Amino acid sequence: MNKRSINRRNFLQQTGMVSLGFIGLQTFLNTSCNDSSASVREASENREYGSLMEDPKQIIKLPKGFTYKIIGRRGDPMSDGLLQPDKPDGMATFVGSNGRVILVRNHELMPTNFGAFGSENELMSKIDASKIYDFREGNLPCTGGTTTLVINEENLEVEKSWLSLAGTLRNCAGGPTPWGTWVSCEEIVIPLGNGYSKGHGYNFEVPASEQIGLVDPVPLKAMGQFNHEAICVDPRTGIVYQTEDAHDGLIYRFLPHEKGNLVKGGRLQALAIKGQKSASTRNWKKDAGTFPINKKIAVEWLDMPNAAESPEDDLRIRGYANGAAKFARGEGMWFGKKELYFACTSGGKTKTGQVFRYIPSPEEGTAAEKNNPGQLELFLEPNDMDLLKYCDNLTIAPWGDIVLCEDRNHPRVVGVTKGGKVYHLAESVYLESEFAGGVFSPSGKTYFVNIQHAGLTLAIQGPWRSGSKAS
């Protein structure tokens, strides 16, 4: 995620459901990922959902027939007496009781950012300080962590909200697990000392609970100390895949000692291209060779010793020297049907984004995978900012398409069909921010997304497809 200061004050205090009117057609953009240099443009209506309509409240443009509601705003009071923190980021949804949706939400905060305890930490007395992972000099709490919301999906009312993980730093993305938890990732590496009482650069697990309270903040150190971005879990094997937000980052997998019990530890490995030591997938001009598009490449996985402590933030450097492949800012990651997708924000010839697909081996994580390896595919690299720019968080829509949040200013929510065609689902009117954390409810009825630097969480509903029209 990009870190920017926001100069616009008192941003958009309106809330409520907004109906959008029709104003005309928008050019539909699509690309064939068989040719990264060619962007096929059709001067016709967006065949997926139609044109994006102007919003009279100047928050978000959506297709005709879609509505949104602001369900979270920086500084709003929560059920535990604390305040909604700033910079909402990665999210996941879970099935709650009586049709409720449990939404767990990251907050990508450093200690000086606005957190749940207020601008002067005046609300600290409302919680048990032993539940705060770390403090900085002056006994001031680290402000990163997660909040949990319980939402009535029928009227999109937030019935309860609270701080569920406290005392961490820059909780960027993460991912849901099949056993009903959210893994929250710190996108920073800070060694013990340096003004902090504990090291940072770890993952933390947060149960999807409807009970108000803070989780015990246990760092999952065996999953590595690095600039974590996102994770996803293969429900068949319990293997956890991880992205690293660095221009020369790696893709990792974590083989847990016990499926579904991450705190028991496991083995961390990094992805390497089979037969190509220390390959680059970035397709940057300065990198040797070109990584092909739409070609499945066999991979292997290399052990990463001493991964639990990497205070110099050199885990990726050690891994690359040992033969692992490097990627350009691995960010969002999601497991679909027997395959996973992940985004690389600054990958491609123009450094404007790539989307990869990984198909695990039927023998993934066992010795037998050597003869039947997993396969990596560069699924999409448009090199055209009109189509896609700086893809970040991603999810898989109920109809099977990839849905991406764009980073940088003037972002969009972008859909990609299984055939690699690109269409636009939403556009932010608030230019100085990014979309983050886009995720569908378990029913598929609602798409939740953050406008991060505005401190807003939105719930979007409308005539979602049951299946993609384009292929």
DSSP track, 51-69: PEEP-TTSSEEEETT-EEE
5 pLDDT higher than 50: no
In order of 89, 348, 437, the CA distances from 247 in angstroms are 20, 12, 21
Interacting residues of 379 by C-beta distance below 8 A, sequence separation 6+ = 33, 293, 294, 341, 355, 356, 357, 420
pTM: 0.90
Q: Could you tell me if residue 61 is inside a domain?
A: no
Residue 181 lies in a domain: yes
Does a structural domain hold residue 176?
A: yes
pLDDT on residue 432? 76
Q: Is 63 left (phi over 0), alpha (psi -120 to 50) or beta?
A: beta
Total domains in the chain come to 1
Question: How do strand 228-233 and strand 240-244 relate by DSSP bridges?
Answer: antiparallel
CA pair distance 43, 46, nearest whole angstrom: 9
Print the domain residue range for 195: 83-219
Q: Give the separation between CA 465 and CA 447, rounded to whole angstroms.
A: 13
Tokens (6 digits) for 340: 């996973």
Q: CB of 417 within 8 A of CB of 401? A: yes
> Do 444 and 450 contact (CB within 8 A), yes or no?
no
Is residue 94 one of the residues assigned to a domain? yes
Token pair recorded at residue 208: 């999807």
> Per mean pLDDT, which range of 252-256, 277-281, 463-467 is the poorest?
463-467
User: Does the pLDDT value for residue 468 go beyond 80?
Assistant: no
Whether residue 281 has pLDDT greater than 70: yes
Distance CA 308, CA 39 (A): 43
Let me know: does 190 contact 134? Beta carbons within 8 Å. no
- For residue range 211-257, what is the model confidence (pLDDT) as tens digits? 999 999 999 999 999 999 999 999 999 999 999 999 999 999 999 99
Domain for residue 135, yes or no?
yes
Domain-located, residue 432: no
Kindly tell me if the per-residue pLDDT of 21 is higher than 80: no
Determine which helix (DSSP H) or strand (DSSP E) holds 321, and give its type and residue range: helix 315-321
Judged against a pLDDT cut of 70, whether residue 2 lies above it is answered with no
Average of pLDDT values for 158-170?
Answer: 98
Summarised one tens digit per residue, pLDDT across range 392-441 is 999 999 999 999 999 987 899 999 998 999 999 999 987 678 999 999 99
Does residue 159 lie within any of the structural domains? yes
Residue 31 CB contacts under 8 Å (≥ 6 apart), including other chains: 38, 39, 40, 380, 382, 384, 387, 420, 421, 422
